[in-house]
């Protein structure tokens, strides 16, 4: 079994266990899908500007509230991301898990910050494949629409990948579903 299949299987198993726990615990769970624009900061290598391209990604995320006190809550988060602008046959994937701290000033708004750790994988023309440890620090806001839906108008984050010269800036927006209370 290849490393990619192994890691995908591990993430899938953890996600299934996580979701089953959320359903049985009747905790509030959020599932979201977002579009993101991932762009590296300006890179200067040996005095020369290195051209940087943008990556357009789809992000799938699930989190659930495990602790809630006053207007603050803590959630574990699982996230998968892949690019869809398959220029030059380069595909990238990222798998992250970590924690999120949320402040809810009222029943309609959630302001959050999260720190996630995981892997960033790049496949180029089936000839070159690499996988690196990465971590993500981001914050954003969710607006609840009714009992079951929310929109995420903005989330801004920094993605740090080992062995890459500079961090990437990620700006995303999306929609999602809420379960539980």
Q: How many independent structural domains does the chain possess?
A: 1
CB-based contact 114:136 (threshold 8 Å): yes
3-state helix, strand, coil in the chain (%, to 5): 15, 65, 20
Name the residue range of residue 123's domain.
Answer: 3-179
CATH number where 153 lies:
2.40.160.20
Give the pLDDT confidence score for residue 2 in this predicted structure.
56
In tens, the pLDDT along 66-99 reads 888 899 999 999 999 988 766 666 778 888 999 9
- Could you tell me where the DSSP H helices lie in the chain? 3-25
Give the pLDDT confidence score for residue 164 in this predicted structure.
72
Separation between Cα atoms, residue 58 and residue 52, nearest integer Å = 20
Give the pLDDT confidence score for residue 174 in this predicted structure.
95
Give the pLDDT confidence score for residue 100 in this predicted structure.
96
Separation between Cα atoms, residue 140 and residue 19, nearest integer Å = 23
Q: What is the pTM of this model?
A: 0.79
Separation between Cα atoms, residue 64 and residue 50, nearest integer Å = 41
Q: 36-45, 122-131, 149-158: which has the highest mean pLDDT?
A: 149-158
Task: Report whether pLDDT(8) > 90.
Answer: no
Mean pLDDT of 18-27: 59
């Amino acid at each position: 079994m290849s490393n990619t299949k192994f890691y995908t299987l591990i993430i899938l198993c953890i996600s299934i266990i996580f979701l089953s726990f959320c359903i049985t615990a009747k905790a509030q769970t959020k599932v979201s899908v977002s579009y993101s624009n991932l762009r590296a900061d300006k890179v200067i290598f040996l005095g020369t500007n290195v051209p940087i391209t943008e990556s357009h990604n789809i992000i799938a995320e699930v989190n659930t509230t495990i602790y809630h006190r006053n207007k603050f809550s803590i959630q574990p988060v699982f996230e998968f991301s892949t690019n869809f602008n398959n220029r030059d046959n380069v595909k990238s994937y990222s798998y992250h898990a970590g924690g999120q701290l949320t402040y809810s000033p009222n029943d309609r708004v959630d302001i959050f910050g999260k720190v996630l750790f995981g892997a960033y994988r790049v496949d180029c023309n089936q000839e070159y494949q690499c996988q690196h440890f990465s971590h993500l620090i981001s914050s954003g806001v969710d607006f609840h629409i009714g009992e079951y839906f929310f929109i995420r108008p903005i989330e801004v984050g920094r993605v740090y990948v080992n062995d890459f010269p500079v961090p990437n800036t990620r700006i995303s927006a999306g929609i999602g579903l809420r379960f539980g209370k």
